[in-house]
Each structure stands twice: as C-alpha cells, then as structure tokens.
Amino acid sequence: MSATDGAPSTGTPLIAARGVTRILPGIVPTTLVHDVDLAIGENELVAITGPSGSGKSSLLYLLGLLDLPTAGEVLIRGRATAGMSEEERAHTRLATLGFVFQFHFLLPEFTVLDNVTLPMRALDALSPKAMRERGLDLLGSLGLGDHTAKRPDQLSGGQRQRVAVARALANDPPLVLADEPTGSLDSQASEQVFEILRDLVRTGGKTVVAVTHDLDIARRMDRRIALMDGAVVGDERVVVAPRRNMIIPGRTEGANPESSPG
C-alpha cells in the first residue's frame, strides 16, 4: 500500500518521501526503511506507529534530514534534499523543522531560556532582544513562565519535555517531528505533552509528525501511518473533535536586518 493514499491530493506537500530506502551496510546489510512513499501536508497531526524495530524512528530521522537515504528522495515543500550541501541541510533543519525527542536533550549548564534560544542564535534571523522576547513568550505559552531562569535539573520530567517543545518551536518551523515524545513520562505529563502537540496543529497552524508506541495517543491523532519491517503497511485518517485552544507565538517581529536566513 502506498502511503500517498492517505495524503492530501492537492497542493505541494510540506514534506514528502519518494521511494525512500535506508540500508545499513555490513556483512549482512540491514534494511531500516524500505521504499517508502508518503506526503504530509499543512496542519496535519500524524502518528507513525509500529512494533519495535519496524523503522519508525529511522523514517523520522530521514524525514528530518538527520540521516541520508540509501535510495530515494526526501522533499521539503517540493524541494529535493539529497543534493543539498551539509550547510544547506543544516539551514533547512533550523528554519523548517523542529525536533522533540523521547529524552529532552537539554543542555544542563544552560538555563531554560538559554536552551530555548539556542536554535534562534544558530539561525541568526532575529535580534538578540527579539530572541529573548520570543523565548519568554514560548515558555509562557507552555506554562513555564516562572521557570525561565532555572536549569533543567531543577524541573520535573514533564516540564523538561515542555521546554524541549518550546525549543522545537524557537524558529517558528511549520513542521515538528517528535520521536516518542511521551515515552519517558508518566500518564499526566504524557497527556499534557500530547495536548500541546495537538494544539500546535489545531490553533498554532503547525504540522506535527510523532512516532509513538502509545496506541491511545495514536488513536486520537488525525492520521496514522503504520510501519512493519521498514515498509508502510497502513495509512488512515480519522476525524478528531477539536478541544481547548492554545496560542503559540509566531516569529513576526524583531528581525535582524543584517542577517539573512539564506
């Protein structure tokens, strides 16, 4: 089954895979992802599901330009990425993609606010004042306004993961990729993180693609892509009733006129 059966039929996809395969070389080569075709559009809430070892995270890393396919092509808004230089790939990741992982990967020596502003500094599209203001706005919108000066080890697991979400949104990317974002959290914190990711789509205008083992969370998402042995074996859409709203700050002011996003 081609995953494009579940994709939007009109317009240029936000992200697409065309015959994407990833094989680890070795005495016995290992196929992580096999001939995947899919297209994901704007304002989608997508779950990638499957048993352990089915290639879910490997596919996410390929979509996020963190790994290169052995064959096939990943396209971002219709632009092929295989021929990009590493500098171009890095810029595309910074400007277009946000990442949330199972473990927050916050830098322990930096404050919460500093962790959130790091991607902005790397992209260098805002003035320092605007970076700080955006970081504070993001953290405030996620209920962390009183924790901006703390370090990660002073926060709970759920709070650290919310900081990771804020960091993923730092450069206002249209697409957030999440790898088991609730996998290390208790049920209450998992629900909070899920609601945040859902509201990024419902009211924030983002697309969220999340790898998850949690079937309850997957059932509550708009689209489910199922993998088995590295191949797509299912792609279905569901109708999810909207719930509460959350305002996600956009990057609209304070641009640094001396810098260029490339």
8 Å CB contact between 111 and 160: no
pLDDT at 69: 95
CB under 8 Å to 219, separation ≥6 — which residues?
238
Residue 249 located in a structural domain: no
Residue 12 located in a structural domain: no
3-state secondary structure of 244: coil
Residue 175 located in a structural domain: yes
**Tens of pLDDT along 4-18?**
344 444 578 999 999
| Cβ neighbourhood burial of 239 (10 Å; 0-12, 13-18, 19+) | exposed
Q: How many CB atoms lie within 10 A of CB 193?
A: 24
pLDDT at 188: 79
User: What DSSP letter does each residue of 131-149 carry, written as one string?
Assistant: HHHHHHHHHHHTT-TT-TT
pLDDT at 64: 94
8 Å CB contact between 96 and 104: no
Residue 166 located in a structural domain: yes
Amino acid of residue 86: E
pLDDT at 246: 45
Residue 79 located in a structural domain: no
Residue 15 located in a structural domain: no
CATH of the domain at 128: 3.40.50.300
pLDDT at 8: 42
Residue 149 located in a structural domain: yes
pLDDT at 197: 87
pLDDT at 10: 53
8 Å CB contact between 239 and 7: no
pLDDT at 58: 93
Cα–Cα dist 165/135, whole Å = 11
Phi and psi (nearest 5°) for 220? -95, 5
Residue spans of alpha helices (H) in the chain: 56-63, 86-96, 112-123, 128-141, 157-168, 187-202, 215-219
Residue 2 located in a structural domain: no
The four Cα atoms 194, 17, 251, 89 give a dihedral, to 10 degrees, of: 120
Over its length of 262 residues, how does the chain's per-residue pLDDT go in tens digits?
Answer: 333 344 444 578 999 999 999 998 989 998 999 999 999 999 999 999 999 889 999 999 999 999 999 999 999 999 999 889 999 999 999 999 999 887 778 999 999 999 999 999 999 999 999 999 999 999 998 888 999 999 999 998 888 888 998 999 999 999 999 988 877 677 777 888 888 888 889 988 999 999 988 888 888 899 999 999 999 999 998 764 554 444 445 544 444 444 433 3
pLDDT at 245: 44
Residues of the domain holding 127: 41-60+85-237
Q: How many CB atoms lie within 10 A of CB 215?
A: 11
The four Cα atoms 34, 230, 74, 237 give a dihedral, to 10 degrees, of: 120
Domains: count for the chain: 1
8 Å CB contact between 249 and 137: yes
**Tens of pLDDT along 149-204?**
999 999 988 888 889 989 999 999 999 999 888 776 777 778 888 888 888 899 88
